[in-house]
């Protein structure tokens, strides 16, 4: 499967690193929809890709002008994300660790992209990461999942479904 960046400065560039076992990359259709929801131009915004995986969400944000931090708990997958970023010439900060444990030490972000393994407890993820959101949070889940309307500082704005995937757009407290 060849993956491509769908928008921004690196639009159309192929991601040459293989998809590693245990990683579920977000489809190009869903990535395009996600950035239609939050905006195509992320110039000057800070973005946290909370569950790195393939790194595609963070790299898409970088391609659209954002300052990006990607967190991945598995060191070998974090290395693959760094290699992919280097291939693209992307300047992203890849941190190794569990985003739910790192939490507040990561700071606050204008946009938080959250695509955890579908087995994760969405309520726990929203509770722990909600305080990091300064603007918007997009939570990717199985289309059959049910997430809350409100979680701490987050308020659900809208949900879009694409086949077996759902995107939940939450708005955080403004500073």
> How big is the chain, counted in residues?
175
Bridging pattern class, strands 67-72 and 165-171: unpaired
Q: Is the pLDDT of residue 1 over 60?
A: no
For residue 81, give the DSSP letter.
H
Mean pLDDT of the chain: 90
- Confidence bin at 22 (pLDDT 50/70/90): low
For the domain that residue 92 is a member of, what is the CATH number? 3.40.50.150
Bridge partners, 47 (sequence order): 68, 111
Percent of the chain with pLDDT over 90: 71
Bridge partners, 121 (sequence order): none
pTM for the predicted model, two decimal places: 0.92
Q: Is the pLDDT of residue 20 over 70?
A: no
Q: Taking residues 161-169, what's their average pLDDT?
A: 94
Q: Mention every residue, 6+ apart, whose C-beta is less than 8 A from residue 145.
A: 118, 122, 166
Question: Please, is 107 exposed, middle or buried when counting C-beta atoms within 10 Å of its C-beta (0-12, 13-18, 19+)?
Answer: exposed
Tell me how far apart the terminal alpha carbons of the chain are, to the nearest angstrom.
Answer: 41
- Confidence bin at 29 (pLDDT 50/70/90): confident
- The pLDDT tens digits of the residues spanning 140-149 come to 999 999 999 9
- The pLDDT tens digits of the residues spanning 36-86 come to 999 999 999 999 999 998 899 999 999 999 999 999 999 998 999 999 999
| Domain span holding position 12 | 3-171
- The pLDDT tens digits of the residues spanning 83-112 come to 999 999 999 999 999 999 998 899 999 999
For residue 103, give the DSSP letter.
G
Least confident range of 5-9, 17-21, 57-61:
17-21
Task: Please tell me the total count of domains within the chain.
Answer: 1
Question: Residue 73's pLDDT is what?
Answer: 93
């Amino acid at each position: 499967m060849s993956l491509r960046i769908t928008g921004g400065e690196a639009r159309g560039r192929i991601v040459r690193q293989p998809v590693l076992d245990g990683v579920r990359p977000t489809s190009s259709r869903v990535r395009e929809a996600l950035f239609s929801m939050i905006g195509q131009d992320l110039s000057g915004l800070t973005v946290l890709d909370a569950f790195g995986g393939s790194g595609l969400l963070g790299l898409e944000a970088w391609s659209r002008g954002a300052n990006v931090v990607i967190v991945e708990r598995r060191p070998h997958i974090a290395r693959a994300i760094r290699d992919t970023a280097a291939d693209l010439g992307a300047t992203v900060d890849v941190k190794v660790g569990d985003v739910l444990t790192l939490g507040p030490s990561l700071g606050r972000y204008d946009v938080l992209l959250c695509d955890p393994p579908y087995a994760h407890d969405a309520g726990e993820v929203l509770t722990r990461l909600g305080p990091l959101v300064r603007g918007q949070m997009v939570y990717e889940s199985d289309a059959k999942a049910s997430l809350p309307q409100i979680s701490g500082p987050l308020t659900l704005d809208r949900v879009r479904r694409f086949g077996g995937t759902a995107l939940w757009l939450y708005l955080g407290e403004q500073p």
